[in-house]
Amino acid sequence: MIIIVETDHSVKEKLKKTTFGKEFIQTCLNSEFLVVDEENSKWLGICFVGGLLHTNGIEILEEARGRGLSKKLLDRVIEECDRRKISFLTGVFKPTNLISIKIHTAIGYKPVFNFYYNEQVGEEIIVILPLNKKGDLLYHILRIFNTRMGNAFFAFTFTLFRPFLRNIITFEGEEMPKINFRDCIKNFKKV
């Protein structure tokens, strides 16, 4: 059964007892709401939305993969965003995660720009799902980061606002990877 839960104290306590990834759980703890696939009181899949940029992410337990839960959770997130008058969702994925890319682009996510953190973390693709005209406008504004100069500005801004990331994109500032400006500029490529 797919349910929507606000991230209150009881939900946070339940999250801490799940077997989802540590970083994913931390992000869920900072989110506004979760869409959860629950079976026999066990959470099998979670999709979160939170932060100023309405960051969205999803994780499905290995035992529940292959059932189409990602699409169901994402569809329900979009319905809830419409109900809450949210104009867009943002997210990231690794270029090597072909399943995630396929699912997200099928529902309308658009790649905005690539970003290379450092040699250890590598590259991520920043994506947006515009849900109305305001979301479309933001997509076009964010495309400025799809240039070498724009990417450098993003890296600088990202580093500068690191302490506030919890409120902006729901991630803990200390958990975010360090940016190597040289690697970022050297490995820049357009989407």
Q: Is the pLDDT of residue 177 over 70?
A: yes
- 9-15 mean pLDDT: 93
Q: How far does CA 183 lie from the centroid of its chain? A: 23
75-93 pLDDT tens trace: 999 999 999 999 999 998 8
Domains of the chain: 2-186 (3.40.630.30)
77 vs 119, which has greater pLDDT? Answer: 77
Torsion angle of alpha carbons 120, 128, 83, 19, nearest 10°?
Answer: -20
Of 25-29, 50-54, 173-177, minimum mean pLDDT range: 173-177
Whether the per-residue pLDDT at 174 is higher than 60: the answer is no
Q: Identify the residue whose tokens are 């970022």.
A: 184
Query: With contact defined as beta carbons under 8 Å apart, do 2 and 37 qualify?
Result: yes
Q: Which phi and psi (to 5°) does residue 68 adopt?
A: 80, 20
pLDDT recorded at residue 172? 55
Q: Is the pLDDT of residue 164 over 60?
A: yes
- At residue 139, the pLDDT reads 97
Higher confidence at residue 93 or residue 166?
A: 93
pLDDT at position 56:
93
pLDDT of residue 120: 85
Whole-angstrom distance, CA of residue 65 vs CA of residue 70: 8
| pLDDT surpassing 90 at residue 158 | no
Mean pLDDT, range 26-33, rounded to an integer: 90
DSSP string, 54-95: TEEEEEE-GGGTTSSHHHHHHHHHHHHHHHTT--EEEEEE-T
Nearest to 92 by CA among 189, 7, 170: 170
Inter-residue contact 94 to 111 (CB < 8 Å): no
Q: How confident is the model at residue 179 (pLDDT cuts 50, 70, 90)?
A: confident
119: buried, middle or exposed (CB in 10 Å: 19+, 13-18, 0-12)? exposed
DSSP type of residue 151: H
- Residue 50 in contact with residue 15, Cβ under 8 Å? no
Percentage above 90 pLDDT, the chain: 65
What's the whole-number mean pLDDT along residues 53-75?
93
Question: Residue 112's closest CA among 131, 81, 136?
Answer: 136
